[in-house]
């Protein structure tokens, strides 16, 4: 007998690289190429260290109110956490507790690769449902008996969007379990499931400040749901850590969300760059689905993904590659500024 026998042993998720090298074009973790809203700077400049002395507001009222205002919701429909990873981890812990081990939580085989890690961590039985060849989802695959459903929409790393009526169909057919729709990339061209929370109290919609609001470094994620589902999530959160959001996250996060116009401008710029780049990548022999995200998931008709990845890296451009079944030939390329993408295209021309 050893203390190690009692340890929960897990294989952790591997996050994308955060290189400390300067002068690199970083297209590997889907950050926004534009800075946060101007008001964030103003609030940062007025921040006093003496405020750090006291505990932050455990209800996160300033941030929750700002999000509720933006989306025209009641505060009781909003949950916030330390990035959408924290929100999703708490949601897995809170909602996927079927006593029947045969009722498995369902999510696609190719999707955000943290879902199976959370399921393993919390010992939640799960089944990975294969995506179709073109990376689309067949809603019917999620209609059988299960312990919960998680759909990233648009899906990552594929970038493919499931239309809202099909999302609704999945939610409607699963009244006995919680359905999580992970909308980390929804602001780049998708239609959010947010309006459905009024109709389905078992729906949780998760979003993040890390992509469309340029605040990956601040770690802010949030979820929408019925007042009942949010209350359950809050109870679990307050059983884990009373004060998850620090003072800068609360006040700078609220500032970031208040500026609707800047938000619209940024996401439109990212979408415009993405659409401009698509034909250029096609010309170079890449194929990819119709991305509605701030990345393009592409493979080349001749060159191996591994080789292109290495060549880009040698030339100061980092993209993401997953050494996983079915997708090892693909590269996930975040949408940077127009200048960054032009450099990418130029370097790609050299190799393909």
Residue closer to a copy of itself by CB (options 235, 307) is 235
At its nearest, how many Å lie between a copy of itself and the CB of residue 29?
6
153 or 202: CB nearest a copy of itself: 202
Q: How far is the CB of 5 from a copy of itself (least distance, A)?
A: 8
Q: Determine the interface stretch with a copy of itself among 115-123, 126-134, 183-191, 284-292 (rule: CB under 8 A).
A: 115-123
CA dihedral in degrees (16, 293, 186, 12; nearest 10)?
-20
Q: Is residue 10 close enough to count as binding a copy of itself by CB under 8 A?
A: yes
| Cα 328 to Cα 306: distance, rounded to the nearest angstrom | 8
Q: Which of residues 143-202 bind a copy of itself (CB under 8 A)?
A: 147-148, 175-178, 201-202
Which one of 21, 22, 23, 55 is in contact with a copy of itself (CB under 8 A)? 55
Find the shortest distance in angstroms from Cβ 116 to a copy of itself.
10
The whole-angstrom separation of Cα 178 and Cα 193 is 14
Output the smallest distance, CB 255 to a copy of itself, in A: 10
Please give the distance of CA 27 from its chain centroid, rounded to a whole number.
Answer: 16
DSSP state of 207: E
Q: Which class for 329: exposed (0-12), middle (13-18), buried (19 or more C-beta within 10 A)?
A: middle
Taking the C-alpha atoms of residue 121 and residue 323, their distance in angstroms, rounded to an integer, is 22
46 touching a copy of itself, by CB under 8 A: no
Q: Are 227 and 203 in contact (CB under 8 A)?
A: no
Contact status: 107 vs a copy of itself (CB under 8 A): no
Each residue 234-273 as x (binds a copy of itself by CB under 8 A) or -, in order, gives xxxxxxxxxxxxxxxx--x---------------------
d(CA 285, CA 278): 11
Ranges within 207-236 binding a copy of itself (CB under 8 A):
210, 214-219, 228, 232, 234-236
Cα separation, 191 vs 253, in Å, equals 23
Spatial distance between the Cα atoms of 347 and 27, rounded to a whole number of angstroms: 14
Q: How many residues line the site for a copy of itself (CB under 8 A)?
A: 90
Task: Name the one residue in this structure whose structure tokens are 């190799």.
Answer: 351
Chain residues 269-328 in contact with a copy of itself, contact rule CB under 8 A: none
């Amino acid at each position: 007998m050893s203390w190690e026998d009692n340890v929960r042993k897990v294989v952790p998720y591997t996050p994308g690289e955060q290189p400390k090298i300067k002068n690199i074009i970083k297209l590997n973790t889907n950050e926004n190429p534009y800075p946060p809203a101007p008001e964030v700077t103003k609030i940062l400049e007025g921040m006093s260290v003496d405020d750090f002395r006291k505990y932050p507001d455990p209800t996160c009222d300033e941030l929750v109110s700002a999000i509720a205002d933006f989306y025209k919701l009641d505060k009781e429909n909003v949950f916030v956490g330390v990035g959408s990873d924290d929100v999703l981890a708490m949601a897995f812990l809170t909602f996927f507790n079927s006593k029947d081990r045969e009722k498995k939580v369902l999510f696609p085989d190719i999707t955000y690769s943290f879902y199976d890690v959370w399921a393993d961590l919390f010992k939640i039985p799960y089944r990975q449902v294969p995506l179709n060849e073109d990376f689309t989802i067949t809603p019917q695959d999620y209609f059988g008996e299960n312990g919960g459903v998680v759909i990233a929409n648009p899906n990552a790393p594929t970038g493919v969007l499931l239309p809202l009526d099909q999302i609704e169909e999945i939610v409607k057919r699963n009244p006995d379990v919680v359905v999580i729709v992970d909308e980390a990339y929804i602001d780049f061209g998708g239609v959010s499931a947010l309006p459905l929370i009024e109709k389905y109290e078992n729906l949780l919609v998760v979003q993040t400040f890390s992509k469309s609001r340029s605040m990956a470094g601040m770690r802010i994620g949030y979820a929408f749901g019925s007042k009942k589902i949010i209350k359950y999530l809050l109870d679990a959160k307050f059983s884990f850590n009373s004060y998850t959001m620090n003072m800068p996250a609360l006040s700078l996060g609220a500032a970031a969300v208040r500026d609707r116009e800047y938000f619209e401008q940024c996401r439109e710029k990212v979408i415009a760059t993405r659409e401009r780049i698509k034909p250029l990548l096609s010309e170079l022999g890449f194929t990819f689905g119709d991305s509605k995200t701030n990345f393009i998931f592409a493979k080349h008709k001749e060159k191996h993904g591994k080789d292109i990845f290495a060549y880009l890296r040698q030339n100061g451009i980092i993209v993401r590659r997953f050494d996983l079944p079915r997708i090892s030939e693909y590269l996930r390329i975040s949408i940077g500024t127009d200048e960054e993408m032009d450099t990418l295209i130029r370097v790609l021309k050299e190799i393909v």
